């Protein structure tokens, strides 16, 4: 099996994308970066967390979003609703909650002049209120942000009037993935966050193909995604949606686990497994129902990856900070361990996953360091890099909008 899809080229399914090289310009242009922030990140639905981070009324999460030029205050209200606000006081526009991270409380008081807000964003108290001029507290609450939840994932949209609902935005991919047991598989998670000196698209492109796996991951994953019958890790399936896309990855059924890996297999799911019971998986996962399946990479435009396997999943959020700087958030989710053996399996999975991620990340800054050299003007794309080509087209369509 030299090619996982039987020998056809993936680009033949989507001839409208063409096969031309992709210009490098948008990866190094300050003007293009400005347009991405204005016409993509400030207008589309963005994932900012999961409901498990706000389990109880009064729980809140502060998240700075340089990609959108704001700070976000996520709150679980007394009614149980999750809502987002700009983290900005109505008095003199001070940052209301200074420290990023999570907490719990009954309201929020500005450290500058003591203006106090409730969990619904309402302005409750203004010190020395009678000295103001016609102050209307009922019109000076926190500025709300459109918020919605899909399968436990919290999304926001910074547009004053979003063009479409979250359900409409996620579309067919959201419906196909909607039956995955996210709630049952989110009992615990491991998280990593870092900043890299690279354009966010350089980084994102590296996770939208597995052409690199036999080379970059030959130490950490020597035969998990490739075999003598599929030496180049050709995908089992690719599917493009209007904005989003999915890629189903091959897993070597003849993978020979190490002694420690064999022990971990006994107690629970690893991030990478190679034997699956299709009946356990919802219809939108492993669409080819192949026994040589490892996981599905699901990419929601512009910056959210939800990669699902059997019994575990992980997510990436990629945030632009500057034309040559970005933040990367990784979370690896598992069901809550019920035995020491299951915890051992999850800890081992975390280490395998971490090592592979370090290999991925090490190429990014080196790539960015030579992009502005002028030595090359275009990227040459392989057939298995179809998702990169599609992503480029979707971004260009959005940045061209007025």
Among 133, 161, 189, the domain boundary falls at 161
What is the mean pLDDT of the segment spanning 15-19?
A: 96
Whether 134 has a pLDDT exceeding 90, the answer reads: yes
Q: Per residue in 207-235, is it b (16+ CB within 10 Å) or e — as a string? A: bbbbbbbbebbeebbeebbbbeebebbbb
Boundaries of domain holding 350: 10-36+172-399
197 and 323 both lie in a single domain: yes
CA 293 – CA 237 distance, rounded (Å): 10
Supply the Cα-derived Rg of the chain in whole angstroms: 23
- Residue 57: phi and psi, rounded to 5, are -55, 135
Structural tokens at position 164: 């479409």
20 and 97 both lie in a single domain: no
User: What pLDDT shows up at residue 264?
Assistant: 66
For 51-66, the pLDDT digits (tens) are 999 999 999 999 999 9
Structural tokens at position 225: 């995604």
108 and 198 both lie in a single domain: no
203 and 258 both lie in a single domain: yes
CA 274 – CA 345 distance, rounded (Å): 15
For 138-162, the pLDDT digits (tens) are 999 999 999 999 999 999 999 999 9
Whether 257 has a pLDDT exceeding 80, the answer reads: no
Angle at 238 between CA 286 and CA 293, to 5 degrees: 30
230, 366 contact by CB (below 8 A):
no
- What's the CATH code of the domain at 150? 2.102.10.10
Structural tokens at position 2: 């030299």
Give 317's strand partners. Answer: 304, 329
Nearest to 301 by CA among 162, 122, 128, 173: 173
Whether 2 has a pLDDT exceeding 80, the answer reads: no
Structural tokens at position 9: 């080229």
195 and 320 both lie in a single domain: yes
82, 149 contact by CB (below 8 A):
yes
The reply to whether 226 falls in a domain is yes
Angle at 332 between CA 205 and CA 303, to 5 degrees: 35
Residues in the chain: 402
The reply to whether 216 falls in a domain is yes
66 and 203 both lie in a single domain: no
* Confidence tier at 121 by pLDDT (50, 70, 90): very high
217 and 87 both lie in a single domain: no
The reply to whether 363 falls in a domain is yes
User: What pLDDT shows up at residue 361?
Assistant: 84
How many CA atoms lie within 13 Å of 351's alpha carbon, on the beta-carbon side?
A: 8
Average pLDDT of the chain is 91
User: What pLDDT shows up at residue 275?
Assistant: 43
**Which CA distances in Å does 53 have to 138, 193, 302, 346?**
29, 16, 23, 20
The reply to whether 272 falls in a domain is yes
One-character DSSP codes across 117-184: E-TTS-EEE-TTGGGSSS--GGG-SPPEEEEEEETTEEEEE-SSS-SS-HHHHHHHHHHHHTTS-TTT
Structural tokens at position 183: 């709630």
Whether 272 has a pLDDT exceeding 50, the answer reads: no
The reply to whether 228 falls in a domain is yes
For 189-226, the pLDDT digits (tens) are 899 999 999 999 999 999 999 988 888 887 778 788 88
The reply to whether 4 falls in a domain is no
DSSP 8-state secondary structure symbol assigned to residue 345: H
11-20, 99-108, 317-326: least confident range? 99-108
Beta strands 116-117 and 123-125 are antiparallel
* 3-state SS, one letter per residue, for 282-340: CCCCCCCCCCCEEEEEEEECCCEEEEECCCCEEEEEEEEEECCEEEEEEEEEECCCCCH
Structural tokens at position 29: 């242009």
For 34-92, the pLDDT digits (tens) are 999 999 999 999 999 999 999 999 999 999 999 999 999 999 999 999 999 999 999 99
The reply to whether 355 falls in a domain is yes
For 381-397, the pLDDT digits (tens) are 999 999 999 999 999 99
**Which CA distances in Å does 280 have to 173, 252, 283, 289, 310?**
19, 19, 10, 11, 8
Whether 292 has a pLDDT exceeding 50, the answer reads: yes
Among 161, 196, 215, the domain boundary falls at 161
395 and 284 both lie in a single domain: yes
96 and 191 both lie in a single domain: no
User: What pLDDT shows up at residue 113?
Assistant: 96
User: What pLDDT shows up at residue 7?
Assistant: 63
The reply to whether 41 falls in a domain is no
User: What pLDDT shows up at residue 6?
Assistant: 57
What is the mean pLDDT of the segment spanning 262-280?
A: 56
Whether 309 has a pLDDT exceeding 80, the answer reads: yes
80 and 138 both lie in a single domain: yes
246 and 360 both lie in a single domain: yes
Whether 353 has a pLDDT exceeding 70, the answer reads: yes
Among 103, 138, 161, the domain boundary falls at 161
- What's the CATH code of the domain at 355? 3.90.380.10
Give 75's strand partners. Answer: 60, 83
* Confidence tier at 320 by pLDDT (50, 70, 90): very high
Structural tokens at position 158: 């910074």
361 and 263 both lie in a single domain: yes
User: What pLDDT shows up at residue 1?
Assistant: 35
DSSP 8-state secondary structure symbol assigned to residue 56: S
Total of domains in the chain: 2
């Amino acid at each position: 099996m030299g090619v996982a899809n039987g020998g056809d080229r993936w680009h033949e399914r989507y001839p409208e994308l063409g096969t031309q090289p992709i210009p490098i310009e948008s990866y190094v242009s300050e003007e293009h970066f400005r347009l991405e922030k204005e016409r993509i990140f400030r207008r589309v639905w963005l994932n900012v967390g999961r409901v498990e981070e706000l389990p109880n009324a009064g729980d809140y999460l502060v998240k700075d979003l340089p990609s959108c030029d704001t700070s976000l205050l996520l709150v679980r209200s007394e009614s149980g609703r999750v809502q987002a606000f700009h983290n900005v006081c109505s008095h003199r526009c001070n940052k209301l909650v200074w420290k990023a991270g999570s907490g719990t409380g009954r309201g929020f008081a500005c450290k500058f002049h003591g203006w106090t807000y409730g969990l619904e964003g309402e302005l409750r108290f203004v010190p020395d209120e009678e000295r103001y001029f016609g102050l209307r507290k009922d019109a000076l609450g926190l500025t709300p942000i459109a918020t919605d939840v899909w399968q436990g994932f919290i999304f926001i949209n910074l547009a004053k009037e979003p063009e479409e609902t979250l359900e409409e935005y996620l579309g067919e991919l959201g419906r196909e993935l909607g039956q995955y047991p996210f709630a049952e598989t989110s009992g615990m998670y491991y998280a990593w966050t870092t900043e890299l000196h690279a354009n966010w698209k350089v980084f994102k492109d590296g996770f939208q193909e597995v052409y690199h796996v036999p080379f970059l991951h030959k130490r950490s994953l020597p035969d998990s995604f490739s075999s003598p019958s599929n030496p180049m890790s050709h995908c089992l399936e690719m599917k493009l949606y209007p904005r989003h896309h999915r890629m189903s990855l091959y897993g070597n059924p003849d993978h020979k686990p190490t002694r420690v890996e064999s022990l971990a297999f006994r107690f629970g799911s690893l991030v990478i497994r190679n034997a699956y019971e299709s009946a356990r998986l919802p219809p939108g996962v492993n669409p080819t129902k192949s026994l040589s399946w490892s996981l599905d990479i699901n990419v929601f435009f512009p910056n959210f990856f939800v990669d699902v396997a059997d019994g575990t999943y992980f997510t990436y959020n990629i945030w632009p900070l500057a034309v040559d700087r970005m933040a990367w958030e990784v979370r690896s989710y598992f069901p809550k361990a019920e035995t020491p053996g299951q915890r051992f399996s999850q800890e081992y999975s975390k280490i395998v996953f971490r090592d592979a991620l370090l290999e991925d990340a090490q190429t990014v800054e080196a790539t960015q360091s030579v992009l502005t050299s002028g030595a090359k003007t275009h990227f040459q794309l392989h057939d298995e890099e179809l998702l990169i080509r599609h992503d480029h087209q979707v971004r260009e369509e959005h940045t061209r909008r007025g």
